[in-house]
């Protein structure tokens, strides 16, 4: 007797969701990135119960047509890539077409969306990956998506969630990562009815100060270096604002927040003589590089990337930070030694 069968979509989506949506903060990241990709200039995040009860993102981006709105919840459904070659020229935050499908598999979703050229928008309700309600609705231009009761249908995962304090900390972390990369966009975060963060559109310096603390106003040193191959820009904190805990360390590659112990090491090396050994420097650095020189598709959350030539990047980043420290006269002399 044959025993193999295809899994129903709802189960396949739930399994896939395990990789993309690990906790409320992962859903927050995906929804904020979708709003950024939609060209929004204002993005509001509303959460209740640290995202366990509600995560809502309201944007004023380009919205979706009725067909696209339904389609957006299918797995591998994306408007961002079409062919394999596109994978190497990605300019958007998303491209895997998995986030909304994953979210719809593990939460109750309500979507309102309208394109500018349409008079009425569309309202959709989705549960267990299926549309359970659809009707036209009046709604501002853009997209308003709510996900309620995350993991309501996967009790084992719900039980794995940490305390509200811990989950909220993860959410704020993701919120700051995304908002830092797009200072020209207004972002707000409201938790249980109270506005926690309110970031006006402005310069990167203003965003860093708003997000990480007013005390930084006079403590930031600009970093800027360019070659044909790679650019770096952003800010480092003067040695005085280094801390005993790792925390305010942000590296973005082509606007995407990444985790890289290797590059953290390069930057720490540039600071080495200037701060106590046990301290961590503060930095918000943006590396821009030809997308063919990297692979961001290493992990579903896209926080790990592979560089074509890691050593060159390491040397370049370290030299740029040393250069900035020297120019700001916080380092004794220009020293490009690696
Ligand atoms: P991806 O972002 O990888 O394409 P998602 O599952 O996150 O995949 O979204 C699927 C598609 O739905 C997107 O490609 C986009 O066309 C559309 N979409 C999602 N969120 C929004 C939004 N806030 N505004 C407009 N379109 C959106
Ligand atoms: Mg997306």
Burial class (CB in 10 A: 0-12, 13-18, 19+), 133: exposed
Ligand found nearest the CA of 90: 1
Ligand 1 close to Cβ of residue 26 (< 6 A): no
Please write the tens of the pLDDT for every residue from 82-127: 998 888 888 899 988 999 999 999 999 999 999 999 999 999 999 9
* Nearest atom, ligand 1, residue 145 CA: 23
**Domains along the chain with CATH numbers:** 9-199 (3.30.565.10), 212-327 (3.30.230.10)
User: Picking from 10-24, 146-160, 255-269, which range would have the lowest pLDDT averaged per residue?
Assistant: 10-24
Enter the pTM of the model.
0.94
Report yes or no: 69 and 213 within 8 Å, Cβ to Cβ. Answer: no
Task: Give me the pLDDT at residue 192, please.
Answer: 98
Q: Which two tokens stand for residue 49?
A: 């119960």
Beta strands in 238-313 (DSSP E): 249-253, 256-258, 283-289, 294-295, 306-307
Q: Rounded to whole angstroms, how far apart are CA atoms 158 and 327?
A: 51
Ligand 1 close to Cβ of residue 94 (< 6 A): yes
Please write the tens of the pLDDT for every residue from 237-283: 999 888 888 879 999 999 999 999 999 999 999 998 899 988 999 99
Ligand found nearest the CA of 105: 1
Question: Per-residue confidence at 334, pLDDT binned at 50, 70, 90?
Answer: low
Gap from CA of 193 to ligand 1 centroid (Å): 27
Ligand 1 close to Cβ of residue 72 (< 6 A): yes
Task: Give me the pLDDT at residue 289, please.
Answer: 93
* Nearest atom, ligand 1, residue 103 CA: 6
Please write the tens of the pLDDT for every residue from 42-58: 999 999 999 999 999 99
Report yes or no: 108 and 150 within 8 Å, Cβ to Cβ. Answer: no
H-only helix segments in the chain: 9-20, 24-37, 66-71, 99-106, 155-160, 164-181, 204-212, 261-271, 310-327
Please determine, for residue 337, whether its predicted confidence score (pLDDT) is greater than 60: no
> How many C-beta atoms lie closer than 10 Å to residue 311's C-beta?
10
* Nearest atom, ligand 1, residue 35 CA: 23
Ligand found nearest the CA of 145: 1
Please determine, for residue 335, whether its predicted confidence score (pLDDT) is greater than 60: no
Ligand 1 close to Cβ of residue 189 (< 6 A): no
Gap from CA of 96 to ligand 1 centroid (Å): 10
Residue of the nearest CA to atom 21 in ligand 1? Answer: 34
Residues 158-173, mean pLDDT to the nearest whole number = 96
Beta-sheet strand order (sheet of 186-191): 130-137, 121-127, 108-114, 142-148, 54-59, 42-48, 186-191, 194-199
Task: List residues, by chain if needed, whose CB lies under 5 Å from ion ligand 2.
Answer: 34, 94, 99
Question: Per-residue confidence at 332, pLDDT binned at 50, 70, 90?
Answer: low
> Dihedral, CA atoms, 49, 16, 308, 280, nearest 10 degrees?
20
Please determine, for residue 297, whether its predicted confidence score (pLDDT) is greater than 80: no
């Amino acid at each position: 007797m044959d025993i193999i069968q295809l899994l129903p979509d709802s189960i396949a989506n739930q399994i896939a969701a395990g990789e993309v949506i690990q906790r409320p903060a992962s859903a927050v990241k995906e929804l904020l990135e979708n709003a950024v990709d939609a060209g929004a200039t204002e993005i509001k995040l509303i959460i209740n119960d640290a995202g366990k009860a509600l995560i809502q993102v309201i944007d004023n981006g380009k919205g979706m047509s009725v067909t696209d709105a339904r389609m957006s919840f299918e797995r591998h459904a994306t408007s961002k890539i079409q062919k394999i070659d596109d994978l190497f020229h990605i300019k958007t935050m998303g491209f895997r077409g998995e986030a909304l499908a994953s979210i719809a598999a593990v939460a109750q979703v309500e979507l309102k969306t309208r394109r500018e050229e349409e008079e009425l928008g569309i309202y959709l309700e989705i549960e267990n990956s299926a549309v359970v309600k659809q009707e036209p609705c009046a709604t501002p231009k853009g997209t308003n998506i709510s996900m309620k009761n995350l993991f309501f249908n996967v009790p084992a995962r719900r039980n794995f969630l940490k305390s509200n304090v811990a989950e909220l900390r993860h959410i704020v972390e993701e919120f700051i990562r995304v908002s830092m990369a797009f200072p020209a966009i207004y972002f707000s975060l409201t938790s249980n009815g109270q506005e926690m963060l309110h970031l006006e559109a402005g310069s990167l310096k203003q965003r860093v100060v708003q997000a990480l603390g007013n005390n930084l106003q006079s403590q930031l040193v600009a970093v800027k270096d360019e070659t044909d191959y790679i650019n770096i820009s952003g800010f480092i904190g003067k040695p005085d604002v280094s801390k005993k805990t790792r925390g305010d360390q942000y590296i973005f590659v082509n606007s995407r927040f990444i985790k890289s112990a290797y590059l953290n090491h390069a930057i720490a090396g540039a600071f080495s003589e200037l701060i106590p050994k046990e301290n961590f420097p503060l930095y918000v650095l943006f590396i821009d590089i030809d997308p063919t020189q990297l692979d961001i598709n290493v992990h579903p959350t896209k926080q790990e990337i592979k560089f074509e030539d890691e050593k060159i990047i390491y040397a370049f980043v370290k030299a740029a930070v040393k250069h900035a420290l020297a120019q700001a006269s916080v380092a004794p002399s220009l020293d490009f030694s690696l």
